[in-house]
Amino acid sequence: MIFSRVIFSALVMLLLSESAQCKKVDCQSECCSFVEGFPVRLKELRSAYREIQRFYESNDDLEPLLNENVQQNINSPYGCHVMNEILRFYLETILPTAVQKNHLHPKTPIDSIGSIFQDLKRDMVKCRKYFSCKNPFEFATIKNSYEKMKEKGVYKAMGELDMLFKYIEQYLASKREKH
Protein backbone atom coordinates (compact mmCIF):
# COMPACT_ATOMS: atom_id res chain seq x y z
CA MET A 1 0.00 0.00 0.00
CA ILE A 2 2.83 2.43 0.90
CA PHE A 3 4.65 1.48 -2.30
CA SER A 4 1.50 2.27 -4.30
CA ARG A 5 1.26 5.70 -2.69
CA VAL A 6 4.93 6.44 -3.42
CA ILE A 7 4.46 5.49 -7.08
CA PHE A 8 1.24 7.50 -7.17
CA SER A 9 3.06 10.60 -5.90
CA ALA A 10 5.87 10.15 -8.40
CA LEU A 11 3.42 9.69 -11.26
CA VAL A 12 1.41 12.77 -10.27
CA MET A 13 4.64 14.76 -10.57
CA LEU A 14 5.24 13.21 -14.00
CA LEU A 15 1.72 14.10 -15.11
CA LEU A 16 2.31 17.69 -14.13
CA SER A 17 5.47 17.83 -16.23
CA GLU A 18 5.63 19.31 -19.70
CA SER A 19 5.56 15.91 -21.45
CA ALA A 20 2.05 15.22 -20.17
CA GLN A 21 0.59 18.61 -21.01
CA CYS A 22 -2.04 18.84 -23.72
CA LYS A 23 -0.93 20.57 -26.87
CA LYS A 24 -2.81 20.95 -30.13
CA VAL A 25 -1.16 18.68 -32.68
CA ASP A 26 -2.11 18.48 -36.34
CA CYS A 27 -2.04 14.71 -36.91
CA GLN A 28 -1.42 13.21 -40.31
CA SER A 29 -2.12 9.59 -39.33
CA GLU A 30 -4.68 7.48 -37.48
CA CYS A 31 -2.05 6.47 -34.95
CA CYS A 32 -1.14 10.06 -34.14
CA SER A 33 -4.85 10.83 -33.71
CA PHE A 34 -5.21 7.80 -31.43
CA VAL A 35 -2.33 8.94 -29.20
CA GLU A 36 -3.39 12.59 -29.17
CA GLY A 37 -7.01 11.68 -28.43
CA PHE A 38 -6.23 9.27 -25.62
CA PRO A 39 -6.57 11.80 -22.77
CA VAL A 40 -10.34 11.76 -23.36
CA ARG A 41 -10.42 7.95 -23.07
CA LEU A 42 -8.17 8.14 -20.00
CA LYS A 43 -10.66 10.48 -18.35
CA GLU A 44 -13.41 7.91 -19.06
CA LEU A 45 -11.24 5.12 -17.58
CA ARG A 46 -10.59 7.08 -14.41
CA SER A 47 -14.24 8.04 -14.05
CA ALA A 48 -15.38 4.40 -14.35
CA TYR A 49 -12.67 3.26 -11.95
CA ARG A 50 -13.62 5.83 -9.29
CA GLU A 51 -16.99 4.06 -9.02
CA ILE A 52 -15.34 0.80 -7.92
CA GLN A 53 -11.95 1.90 -6.61
CA ARG A 54 -12.81 2.01 -2.91
CA PHE A 55 -14.18 -1.54 -2.98
CA TYR A 56 -11.08 -3.03 -4.60
CA GLU A 57 -8.55 -1.03 -2.64
CA SER A 58 -10.25 -1.93 0.66
CA ASN A 59 -9.89 -5.63 -0.19
CA ASP A 60 -6.25 -5.34 -1.27
CA ASP A 61 -3.63 -6.20 1.33
CA LEU A 62 -1.05 -7.84 -0.94
CA GLU A 63 2.29 -6.79 -2.40
CA PRO A 64 2.13 -4.79 -5.68
CA LEU A 65 1.42 -6.68 -8.87
CA LEU A 66 2.27 -3.76 -11.16
CA ASN A 67 5.66 -2.79 -9.79
CA GLU A 68 8.54 -0.53 -10.87
CA ASN A 69 9.79 -3.26 -13.20
CA VAL A 70 6.54 -3.03 -15.17
CA GLN A 71 6.85 0.74 -15.40
CA GLN A 72 10.47 0.48 -16.59
CA ASN A 73 9.48 -2.06 -19.22
CA ILE A 74 6.59 0.10 -20.41
CA ASN A 75 9.06 2.94 -20.90
CA SER A 76 11.50 0.70 -22.78
CA PRO A 77 11.78 0.20 -26.55
CA TYR A 78 9.43 -2.79 -26.24
CA GLY A 79 6.77 -0.90 -24.26
CA CYS A 80 4.08 -1.61 -26.84
CA HIS A 81 4.50 -5.35 -26.27
CA VAL A 82 4.30 -4.80 -22.52
CA MET A 83 1.10 -2.81 -22.97
CA ASN A 84 -0.34 -5.49 -25.26
CA GLU A 85 0.38 -8.27 -22.73
CA ILE A 86 -0.98 -6.31 -19.78
CA LEU A 87 -4.14 -5.35 -21.65
CA ARG A 88 -4.63 -8.98 -22.74
CA PHE A 89 -4.17 -10.11 -19.10
CA TYR A 90 -6.78 -7.64 -17.85
CA LEU A 91 -9.21 -8.40 -20.70
CA GLU A 92 -8.93 -12.18 -20.53
CA THR A 93 -8.35 -12.78 -16.81
CA ILE A 94 -8.85 -9.85 -14.45
CA LEU A 95 -11.98 -8.09 -15.71
CA PRO A 96 -13.99 -11.29 -16.38
CA THR A 97 -13.11 -12.57 -12.90
CA ALA A 98 -14.06 -9.24 -11.32
CA VAL A 99 -17.46 -9.31 -13.06
CA GLN A 100 -18.11 -12.95 -12.01
CA LYS A 101 -17.19 -12.30 -8.38
CA ASN A 102 -19.39 -9.24 -8.02
CA HIS A 103 -22.50 -10.08 -10.09
CA LEU A 104 -22.95 -6.41 -10.86
CA HIS A 105 -25.61 -4.92 -13.11
CA PRO A 106 -25.25 -5.61 -16.86
CA LYS A 107 -23.55 -2.28 -17.65
CA THR A 108 -20.93 -1.72 -14.99
CA PRO A 109 -17.80 0.39 -14.64
CA ILE A 110 -15.88 -2.84 -15.27
CA ASP A 111 -17.62 -3.19 -18.65
CA SER A 112 -16.67 0.40 -19.50
CA ILE A 113 -13.04 -0.23 -18.57
CA GLY A 114 -13.06 -3.45 -20.60
CA SER A 115 -14.49 -1.72 -23.66
CA ILE A 116 -11.86 1.02 -23.55
CA PHE A 117 -9.11 -1.57 -22.97
CA GLN A 118 -10.33 -3.53 -26.03
CA ASP A 119 -10.20 -0.38 -28.15
CA LEU A 120 -6.78 0.51 -26.76
CA LYS A 121 -5.41 -2.97 -27.44
CA ARG A 122 -6.78 -2.94 -31.01
CA ASP A 123 -5.26 0.47 -31.71
CA MET A 124 -1.93 -0.45 -30.11
CA VAL A 125 -1.66 -3.51 -32.39
CA LYS A 126 -2.71 -1.47 -35.42
CA CYS A 127 -0.10 1.19 -34.62
CA ARG A 128 2.88 -1.09 -33.89
CA LYS A 129 5.07 0.68 -36.44
CA TYR A 130 4.12 4.08 -35.02
CA PHE A 131 5.27 2.92 -31.58
CA SER A 132 8.51 1.41 -33.00
CA CYS A 133 8.02 -1.88 -31.15
CA LYS A 134 11.12 -3.87 -30.28
CA ASN A 135 11.53 -7.37 -28.78
CA PRO A 136 8.66 -8.63 -26.60
CA PHE A 137 8.33 -8.15 -22.86
CA GLU A 138 8.37 -11.22 -20.58
CA PHE A 139 4.92 -11.09 -18.99
CA ALA A 140 5.08 -14.46 -17.22
CA THR A 141 6.36 -12.93 -13.97
CA ILE A 142 3.23 -10.83 -13.48
CA LYS A 143 0.94 -13.69 -14.42
CA ASN A 144 2.74 -16.09 -12.04
CA SER A 145 2.50 -13.56 -9.19
CA TYR A 146 -1.21 -13.15 -9.88
CA GLU A 147 -1.82 -16.89 -9.87
CA LYS A 148 0.01 -17.27 -6.52
CA MET A 149 -2.38 -14.73 -5.00
CA LYS A 150 -5.31 -17.09 -5.69
CA GLU A 151 -8.75 -15.48 -5.04
CA LYS A 152 -7.15 -12.27 -3.72
CA GLY A 153 -5.33 -11.75 -7.01
CA VAL A 154 -8.35 -10.11 -8.62
CA TYR A 155 -8.52 -7.59 -5.76
CA LYS A 156 -4.83 -6.82 -6.21
CA ALA A 157 -5.09 -6.42 -9.97
CA MET A 158 -8.29 -4.37 -9.84
CA GLY A 159 -6.90 -2.29 -6.96
CA GLU A 160 -3.96 -1.35 -9.19
CA LEU A 161 -6.02 -0.24 -12.21
CA ASP A 162 -5.37 3.41 -11.39
CA MET A 163 -1.63 2.71 -11.49
CA LEU A 164 -2.08 0.93 -14.84
CA PHE A 165 -3.98 3.93 -16.20
CA LYS A 166 -1.02 6.11 -15.25
CA TYR A 167 1.44 3.74 -16.91
CA ILE A 168 -0.67 3.78 -20.08
CA GLU A 169 -0.91 7.56 -19.96
CA GLN A 170 2.83 7.92 -19.45
CA TYR A 171 3.60 5.55 -22.32
CA LEU A 172 1.22 7.28 -24.74
CA ALA A 173 2.40 10.73 -23.62
CA SER A 174 5.96 9.65 -24.50
CA LYS A 175 4.73 8.91 -28.04
CA ARG A 176 3.10 12.29 -28.61
CA GLU A 177 4.45 14.53 -31.32
CA LYS A 178 7.27 16.70 -30.04
CA HIS A 179 7.00 20.40 -30.87
Residue-wise pLDDT for 137-170, tens only, equals 667 778 888 999 988 999 999 999 999 999 889 8
Asked whether residue 133 is assigned to any structural domain, the reply reads yes
Asked whether residue 111 is assigned to any structural domain, the reply reads yes
Asked whether residue 93 is assigned to any structural domain, the reply reads yes
Asked whether residue 46 is assigned to any structural domain, the reply reads yes
Asked whether residue 21 is assigned to any structural domain, the reply reads no
Per-residue pLDDT at 64 exceeds 60: yes
The residue with greater pLDDT, 25 or 59, is 59
Residue 36 sits in which domain range?
29-174
Asked whether residue 18 is assigned to any structural domain, the reply reads no
pLDDT recorded at residue 122: 93
Asked whether residue 76 is assigned to any structural domain, the reply reads yes
Q: Extract the runs of DSSP E, i.e. beta strands, from 47-173.
A: none
Q: Phi and psi at residue 65, in whole multiples of 5°?
A: -95, -45
* Cα–Cα nearest to 99, from 88, 89, 108, 112: 108
Residue 149 belongs to a domain with what CATH number? 1.20.1250.10
Mean pLDDT of the residues in the chain: 80
Asked whether residue 9 is assigned to any structural domain, the reply reads no
Number of domains in the chain: 1
Per-residue pLDDT at 82 exceeds 80: yes
Q: How does DSSP assign 153-166, residue by residue?
A: HHHHHHHTHHHHHH
